[in-house]
Amino acid sequence: MNRPVTTLYVALFSLLLVPTSLLALGGLADYRPPAEPRVLDGSLAKSLERHYDEHFPLKQVGINLWAALEYLAFGEGRAGLVIGQDGWLYSDEEFDPVVDAQRQLRDNLALIRGVQRQLEERDIQLLLAIVPAKTRLYPEHTGAHQPSALQRSLYPRFHRAVRNAGIAAPDLLGPLQAAKSEAPMFLRTDTHWTPEGAEVAARALSEVVRSAVQLRGEPQEFVTEPLETRAHQGDLTRFLPLGPLFESLLPSADRLQLRQTHAAGGDGDALFAETDLPVALVGTSYSANPAWNFAGALRQHLQRDLANHAEEGGGPLVPMLKYLQSEELNNAPPQLVIWEFPERYLPMTSDLTDFDPQWLAALKDGGERQGLAAASH
């Protein structure tokens, strides 16, 4: 470059650098060093670097600009998101092929059978609530994106496998499809179902339970009341980091009517007054998050209280394995365990490092032998 252009370049760069540096220095006012800062091993430098990275003044601007470019120019978000039509967002877990899926399918099915075997030894019945994928229930909004062949076959394959193993797993897809013309069954911007979808699933499961199992204890009336209706930006919008600069580009928020279930004629504490609960619920955030009120809907339709051992963020296998080793199961075994299990998790790996490998191997081995015995019949 010739001298005038070089001079202009340096001047413009300085005009950008100087105010940015001053803003960054101002961010140091909020910096709190470690309780015992050490210079020689670099801990103080790492602490300062981490603070600067989190509070860099142009970081959020850059994130917003790049996200807006990807979204507007290519119709894409961050890895993990598939953008459909009409403001619908989907998890890419429901579309993409899974690495080494066949082996993982076999391992997870063996664990499921092993869980059933462990419960049967305690005279506890297992009911598997397989939650259909959002793409399966709402394929009309996926646009040009299509699930892989594995994902398309997953729901019937899952049902066939557990049926062959003698595990009860009612079809939830049919009732959800029948009800989706009356109310949304899944949230547009979230991976989860709506309270209406959770209620439809709970009613379908309860009908099966009532026809097959005589739950101990006297029937108890539970009442579900609507609470506030609020705007809900779903968990999938986190893969579109457009705010605060371009927040208006985000799909419109869902409308979520919260619900609360309580024992008729009693206060909220009455839900947990019983100690001998005939039903235990284990599962994922579909069951754990009170915003969907799945546990409450089950209480109402089963006319029984239940213990909720579902957890958010760990998939369906981890909370069930924890429950098998829990004092609650040993001290107060239920009559029925309802295991909520989203179909997309069947070919996925789970972090099982907190569990004894030998115990897991024995559980899988028992499940595999049970599966072979069921297949031979």
Q: Which of 113, 130, 115, 131 is nearest to 169 (CA)?
A: 130
Helix (H, G, I), strand (E, B) or coil at 146: coil
Q: Which of 91, 206, 285, 287 is catalytic?
A: 285
Mind giving me the DSSP string for 175-236? HHHHHTTTS-SB-TTSSSBPHHHHHHHHHHHHHHHHHH---SS----EEEEEEEEEEE--GG
Helix (H, G, I), strand (E, B) or coil at 129: strand
Instruction: Report yes or no: 292 and 192 within 8 Å, Cβ to Cβ.
Output: yes
Q: Measured between alpha carbons, how far is 342 from 324 in angstroms, rounded to an integer? A: 19
Other Cβ atoms closer than 10 A to 268: 10
Q: Is 190 a catalytic residue?
A: yes
Q: Is 192 a catalytic residue?
A: yes
Pairing of strands 336-342, 222-232: unpaired
Q: Which of 159, 192, 232, 262 is catalytic?
A: 192
Other Cβ atoms closer than 10 A to 106: 16
Q: Which long-range contacts (CB under 8 A, 24 or more apart) does 196-199 make?
A: 197/292, 198/286, 198/292, 198/293, 198/294, 198/297, 199/224, 199/259, 199/293, 199/297
Mind giving me the DSSP string for 315-338? TTHHHHHHHHTSHHHHHS--SEEE
Q: Which of 277, 289, 268 is nearest to 223 (CA)?
A: 268
Q: Which amino acid type is present at position 219? A: P
Residues designated as active site: 190, 192, 285
